């Protein structure tokens, strides 16, 4: 069975600092991995996805994530945090490239201090 673990339910950074949100996955098949962002009282917006084409994936709003098979990780980073990045971030894995079912982590709330 597949699963996702997001380390840290809350992460606080200063504006302009590096953002690092951690995600580890468990999968018996080559995983498809996703990061979504959820702003307060809104739905989920796709930030980026990994499909095995490249290990470093660039997404929207300056975010990127690196797939590391040896570490079963897919951590999300952004070089410089902006106040508008404050939101809930979810890592998710799908059961192979033909599956439409996503398994989500419990989320990490990013707080950005001025």
* Residue 100 found at the interface with other proteins (CB under 8 A): yes
The CA distance from 23 to 7, in Å, is 7
Check binding of 101 to other proteins (CB under 8 A).
yes
Interface with other proteins in residues 24-43 (CB under 8 A): 32, 34, 36, 42-43
Minimum CB separation of residue 100 from other proteins in Å reads 5
Cα separation, 62 vs 41, whole angstroms: 23
CB of 20 vs other proteins, minimal distance in Å:
19
Task: Give whole-number Cα distances, 11 to 14, 65, 102, in Å.
Answer: 10, 17, 24
Verify binding: residue 67, other proteins, rule CB under 8 A.
Answer: no
Candidate list 15, 17, 24, 49; residue touching other proteins; CB under 8 A:
49
Round to whole Å and give the CA distance between 74 and 68: 6
What would the two tokens of residue 34 be?
A: 């996703």
75: β partners: 66
54 binds other proteins (CB under 8 A): no
The answer to whether residue 107 forms part of the interface with other proteins (CB under 8 A) is: yes
Which of 14, 29, 99, 113 touches other proteins by CB under 8 A? 99
Q: Does 45 bind other proteins (CB under 8 A)?
A: yes
Backbone phi, psi, residue 11, to 5°: -130, 130
């Amino acid at each position: 069975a597949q699963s996702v673990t997001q380390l840290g339910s809350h992460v606080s950074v200063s504006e302009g600092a590096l953002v690092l949100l951690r995600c580890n996955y468990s999968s018996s098949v080559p995983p498809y991995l996703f990061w979504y962002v959820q702003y307060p009282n809104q739905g989920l917006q796709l930030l980026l996805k990994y499909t095995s084409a490249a290990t470093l994936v660039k997404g929207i709003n300056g975010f990127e994530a690196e797939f590391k098979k040896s570490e079963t990780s897919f951590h999300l980073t952004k070089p410089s945090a902006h106040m508008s990045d404050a939101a809930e971030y979810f890592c998710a894995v799908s059961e192979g490239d033909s599956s439409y079912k996503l398994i989500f982590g419990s989320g990490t709330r990013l707080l950005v201090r001025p």
